[in-house]
Structure 1
Amino acid sequence: MKYKLYANDSRHPAVHRKGLIYITIVAFILCGILTLNAQTLTLRSQLNFPGTFHTDVWGYVDPNTGNEYAILGDASSSSGFAVVDVTDPDNPFQVSSVTSVPGFDVKVWDHYVYTVNGGGNGMGGIVDIADPNNPQPVGNFPSSHNIFISDDGYLFLESPGIRIYDLNTTPENPSIVWSGGSEGHDATVIGDRFYDFHGITGTNIYDISTISNPQLLVTIQDPTITYHHSGWPTEDGQFLYICDELAHGSQPDITVWDISNINNPQKVDQFVDPNAIVHNLQIVGNYAYVSYYTAGFRVFDVSQPSQTTLVDEYDTNQSSGESFGGAFGVYALSPSGNIFVNDWDNGLFVFSFGSPTGTNTNSPSHHQPQKFLLSQNYPNPFNPSTTIAYQIPSESHVTLTIYNALGQPIRTLVNEQKSVGGYTINWDGKDNRGRPLGTGFYFYQIKAGEFTDSKKMLKVE
């Protein structure tokens, strides 16, 4: 495999996989430019719906079955969204669709999908997906260009202006709690920080400790940014990545800001692709997952924000150039660790990202779950290893134990205090003494506070 790197300043050469410079791993090592990261991006599957204008993508986990779903927005004339079962990432399949609501931007909270039409007119839709095979439209709210839902159940609408709705009491008929501004474009809300990417005027960061009275902390402006389109903070909240959808030529597509001193943000890095424009990103752990329009899907290492590095990429689209099209939406918050990309023309791409041996992280995702959940392992049946995903909505002491068919404990995978989040962990098919186990049924059980659940899996030779 060849690794590519973009110019983030004069220290690095700009490269791009469509017609520019390719440099091998050996060349990078000899030049001292890149430390090889063992993480790799793997395409698991693709599912297309011809005639559909694919837009945003989000995820949903059925708390009753543990099945994972991708919610795919559609901004074509038929509009709406599709519900795709991605529990088996190698074999996704559509289970239902809704065409009576707009589908430009889609988000999920609890068992509801909230959608808007990308403009400021008309109404957004609310659809109950408690039964993913039979979604039910149940309500609406004023539409907008973009929406985001905080983990504690507040719906943020961007453009025209900013509006915040409370979903906790009446999710099918949300009530407005605050409004302000006249423009806006995109929102990201993590904890008590609201990041308002406000187009040509800058990026506003608010303290929303009191949701009905947001306090503006700072506005980030920079002459190299044409349009503050979207972005995401690092997990520690110390850095902010801002995407400029209208950057062209030598303008930076993404700028990196040190916001540890909120009163004095400092730009610490930037990167440029003169042959493509960026759309959206999400940061989970040490990686940024980016939908980069015609350049496809890209993954960056953000463990050192001042030296952000391209790790891997996948071209989802046949188009090229600084134009709209290609990879539109990206969702990297699923408990399984799988990543969903919705390509304008080519539909859903399901990726896994990890080490070549398939070992997954045992650190929390940035997304705050609302329920305890133990998912079915994947693959199942398996040989020699499998991955187990779980999520906890409150800090808990977690044990995750493997049992044989006789109910005897044979391997402890987790036994420690865990913070709120979604986790994945790999079981290598061995017992506590490192001995490989034979073919047969095994059970895994989670205990987290008062929550207990178990599932069955099959190891084959």
Structure 2
Amino acid sequence: MRNSSALLAMTTLFFCSYAFAHGDTERPLYVAEDGTDEGQCLSPANPCATIGFALAQAGKGGQIRVTEGSYAIEKAEDLFHLISGVVDVNGGYRKAGKSKFLTTGESVLTGVPYEYREQLRGRGFRIVADRKGMDNDKIANTDKLMQLHQQLKSSIAFTPCIGGTAAGLPCEQVDLLSHVGFEDISATPSAGADIWGFVDLNTGREYAIAGFNNGTGVFDVTDATNPREVGFIDGEDEIWRDIKVYQFFDAANDRWRAYAYVTTDGQTNDGLFVIDLSGLPQSVSKVTYTSDIANAHNVYATNTDYSTGLSITGDVPTLIIAGSNTGNGNYRSYSLASPASPTFVSGGMGSGYMHDASSLVITDSRKDTQCVNAGTHCEVLLDFNENSFEIWDITNTSSPVQLSNTPYLNVGYVHSGWWSEDKQFVFVHDELDERRSGLPTTLRVFSVANLAAPVLAGTWSGPTNAIDHNGFVRGNRYYMSNYTRGLTILDITDPANPAAVGRLDTYPVADSTMFNGAWGAYPYFYSGNIAISDIDSGFYMAADMTRDVPQGSLTFASASAAATEGQQGRLFVQRNGGTNGSVSVNYEIIHATAGPADYILTSGVLNWGDGDNTNKTIDISAVNDGINEGIERLIVRLISPGGSATLGNLSTASLYLGDPGTLPEIGFT
């Protein structure tokens, strides 16, 4: 009996943790006059005492139920959250024993302006004090927050960051290119979720793909100051949506095709959505596909370039489904050999619940000494699973092998993470350590020099206790969606010692431990622009100005070059801006339509000395294979800048290869 009780307690703890981390709309929070402001307010038997404390505990899409009694609204940000509907707060409940709240009580609020009386009456509250009971600072702050809230419902035009603000949003070295509010989206969503993007290789146009509570929107952001909605795919009403993209060349039709894969979590049967992006720039469409899951927390495409969705190695990518309703939420693998119809890979599953994932392709000596199934490379999956992060060798998709399982001190909820471009470090996000351990924003950095035994190499602590959610690496910058603090940009030149260099606060109401504000950030557009999704106000396009540094920024001189087989193609790389110190940048090649037999050179490094601003060259020999074929394409990408130099906007270029006697013509249709 004792063992059964212990098991029940552990099971209850697990599900409470899971629900709390998600802000589960099926588990409301409770407030009563005789409650106590501690814990999570999850039970009618143990309610909170104040609405403000409950608001700080609420998750995405959270509900708060308030019993009869009188409650003071002390802070402007609490009033904002109460009025705006960001959290669903309702009064008029009455305690019925220890286990129930009934809707027959009267909840009285003080410290609330009279103009919100009717609105709050509809939610079970009676207002007994107006502005006469409020101090001037609270009145001014409340008015300011409500004005911002109204402003952010609609779109905002380009506004540079000047004097620490951009269109009323706190900022540092990040310009607001545009904001698309809920009111200007055809489906008029009420909440935002994650965001992804890709570059269409048919046209070179850039697209943001944003999840909302009622579906998925596709926006042309080639002109980031003027986003254009192309299409919206409806879905069931839920808070959580995640997206990834796969793009490939359709030789039979001599064009590129792309698909977006969308998962929805919560009480939904949306399953895995497949969206055909091949109709861009005119349209998108949902593919008829029978999903074998009802819902899932996340989706990830392994072995893909994050700008284009192309396969990195030339092998067929694998779609990873995380936290589905099938099994215990362990990851499930799907082959994208038929991109419109992902196929489950038998045996391609993890051992425990996965919340989020990332992956990297290892080509250094670790593939031979630390991986199990490696050939020319080792494909490694990072599994973030609430209590630790795991590393798997998934080179053989149907037979994954766990290489390590890494917990750490003060773990709250291991949520997600990303890796440095030199593939030596992993940045780990914990979604609950700020709340449970009272920490400031905390990003942990692990060395993965030994894949079998990652070691904590450092941490970054922010100036507030806003929760870190997701983060992504481009060059030596880390782009982090920091919930109520918006977008935070870190300089990771020294990965073990990140430093904050920029921000754009998309949720200027507060920097608290609430699940509001920036959900996702996507920094992989060829333009260098950043897409940010915000739970409460839509999505934003931003420009990172932190890369203007004394050491200079490294960029291609042009977006493309051409060569014929048997000759050499040359790409020029510039050092713009400053020339302080010695700097370097690595480069690598993605095949696109060419193959490894079509050229000589796969990767390398360029170096500049102190004061040197001369152009450097990447020379690629095109192999004459004697085959009469069409123009082939290589994509060359700058990565891992050294010496504190940064990547410029044009960090990717194409080399087009033609048959002898022809000169490839470069252009988009």
Q: In 1, are the aligned partners of 2:179 and 2:539 still within 8 Å (CA)?
A: yes
Secondary structure, aligned partner of 2:496: helix
Q: In 2, are the aligned partners of 1:147 and 1:158 still within 8 Å (CA)?
A: yes
Identity, % of aligned positions: 27
Greater CA deviation, 237-246 or 417-426?
A: 417-426
Q: C-alpha offsets along residues 96-123 of structure 1, whole Å, 9 cap, x if unaligned?
A: 1110478711111121111111248631
How far off its partner does 1:56 sit? 0.8
Structure 2 residue 262 is matched with structure 1 residue 115: yes
Matches within 5 A, 1:8-157: 40-50=173-183, 51-75=189-213, 79-100=214-235, 104-110=241-247, 111-119=258-266, 122=269, 123-132=271-280, 133-138=282-287, 139-141=289-291, 142=293, 143-150=295-302, 151=304, 152=311, 153-157=317-321
Q: Aligned equivalents of 2:174 and 2:665: distance in 1?
A: 31
Residue in structure 1 matching 2:394, options 208, 213, 229:
208
Residue in structure 2 matching 1:312, options 483, 487, 502:
502
Q: Aligned equivalents of 1:105 and 1:98: distance in 2?
A: 13
Q: In 1, are the aligned partners of 2:531 and 2:540 still within 8 Å (CA)?
A: yes
Q: In 1, are the aligned partners of 2:486 and 2:506 still within 8 Å (CA)?
A: yes
Q: Aligned equivalents of 1:426 and 1:344: distance in 2?
A: 27
- What is residue 454 of structure 1 aligned with on the other side? 666
Q: C-alpha offsets along residues 227-270 of structure 1, whole Å, 9 cap, x if unaligned?
A: 11000011111111100011222266211111112233221211
Q: In 2, are the aligned partners of 1:397 and 1:415 still within 8 Å (CA)?
A: no
Change in CA separation of 1:172 and 1:287 when aligned onto 2, cut-off 3 Å: same
Secondary structure, aligned partner of 1:306: coil
Paired letter, 1:148: Y
- Normalised TM-score (structure 1): 0.71
Q: In 2, are the aligned partners of 1:224 and 1:251 still within 8 Å (CA)?
A: no
Paired letter, 1:206: W
Q: C-alpha offsets along residues 249-296 of structure 1, whole Å, 9 cap, x if unaligned?
A: 226621111111223322121123442101000011111100000011
How far off its partner does 1:140 sit? 4.4
Q: Aligned equivalents of 1:108 and 1:117: distance in 2?
A: 16
Bigger fraction of residues in strand: 1
- What is residue 257 of structure 1 aligned with on the other side? 446
Change in CA separation of 1:450 and 1:213 when aligned onto 2, cut-off 3 Å: farther
Q: In 1, are the aligned partners of 2:334 and 2:342 still within 8 Å (CA)?
A: no
Q: Aligned equivalents of 1:426 and 1:220: distance in 2?
A: 35
Q: Aligned equivalents of 2:498 and 2:484: distance in 1?
A: 21
Q: Aligned equivalents of 2:342 and 2:455: distance in 1?
A: 41
- What is residue 408 of structure 2 aligned with on the other side? 222
Structure 2 residue 602 is matched with structure 1 residue 416: no
Structure 1: runs of 5 or more not aligned: 1-17, 19-38, 364-390, 399-411, 428-444, 457-461
Change in CA separation of 1:85 and 1:170 when aligned onto 2, cut-off 3 Å: closer
Residue in structure 2 matching 1:165, options 304, 326, 334:
334
Q: In 1, are the aligned partners of 2:441 and 2:467 still within 8 Å (CA)?
A: no
How far off its partner does 1:45 sit? 1.4
Secondary structure, aligned partner of 2:458: strand
Residue in structure 1 matching 2:543, options 352, 361, 373:
352
Paired letter, 1:114: Y
- What is residue 186 of structure 2 aligned with on the other side? none
Change in CA separation of 1:342 and 1:422 when aligned onto 2, cut-off 3 Å: farther
How far off its partner does 1:70 sit? 0.3
Q: In 2, are the aligned partners of 1:269 and 1:307 still within 8 Å (CA)?
A: yes
Matches within 5 A, 1:172-321: 172-177=341-346, 178-191=348-361, 192-200=379-387, 202-248=388-434, 249-250=438-439, 253-273=442-462, 274-320=464-510, 321=512
Q: C-alpha offsets along residues 145-173 of structure 1, whole Å, 9 cap, x if unaligned?
A: 11111114211011111101001235324
Q: In 1, are the aligned partners of 2:191 and 2:537 still within 8 Å (CA)?
A: no
Bigger fraction of residues in helix: 2
- What is residue 339 of structure 1 aligned with on the other side? 530
Paired letter, 1:83: V
Change in CA separation of 1:190 and 1:318 when aligned onto 2, cut-off 3 Å: same
- What is residue 27 of structure 1 aligned with on the other side? none
Q: Aligned equivalents of 2:654 and 2:246: distance in 1?
A: 24
Aligned residues: 360
How far off its partner does 1:413 sit? 9.0
Q: Aligned equivalents of 1:421 and 1:52: distance in 2?
A: 40
- What is residue 564 of structure 2 aligned with on the other side? none
Q: Aligned equivalents of 2:617 and 2:210: distance in 1?
A: 34
Rg bigger for which structure? 2
Secondary structure, aligned partner of 1:307: coil
Change in CA separation of 1:217 and 1:98 when aligned onto 2, cut-off 3 Å: same
Change in CA separation of 1:68 and 1:216 when aligned onto 2, cut-off 3 Å: same
Q: Give the number of the structure with larger relative contact order, counting CA–CA contacts within 8 Å between residues 6 or more apart.
A: 1
Change in CA separation of 1:214 and 1:426 when aligned onto 2, cut-off 3 Å: closer
Q: In 1, are the aligned partners of 2:528 and 2:649 still within 8 Å (CA)?
A: no
Q: Aligned equivalents of 1:340 and 1:74: distance in 2?
A: 14
Secondary structure, aligned partner of 1:289: strand
Q: Aligned equivalents of 1:210 and 1:179: distance in 2?
A: 12
Q: Aligned equivalents of 1:170 and 1:270: distance in 2?
A: 39
Q: In 1, are the aligned partners of 2:526 and 2:649 still within 8 Å (CA)?
A: no
Q: Aligned equivalents of 2:215 and 2:459: distance in 1?
A: 36
Q: In 2, are the aligned partners of 1:397 and 1:416 still within 8 Å (CA)?
A: no
How far off its partner does 1:417 sit? 4.1
Matches within 5 A, 1:387-426: 393-394=590-591, 415-417=618-620, 422=637
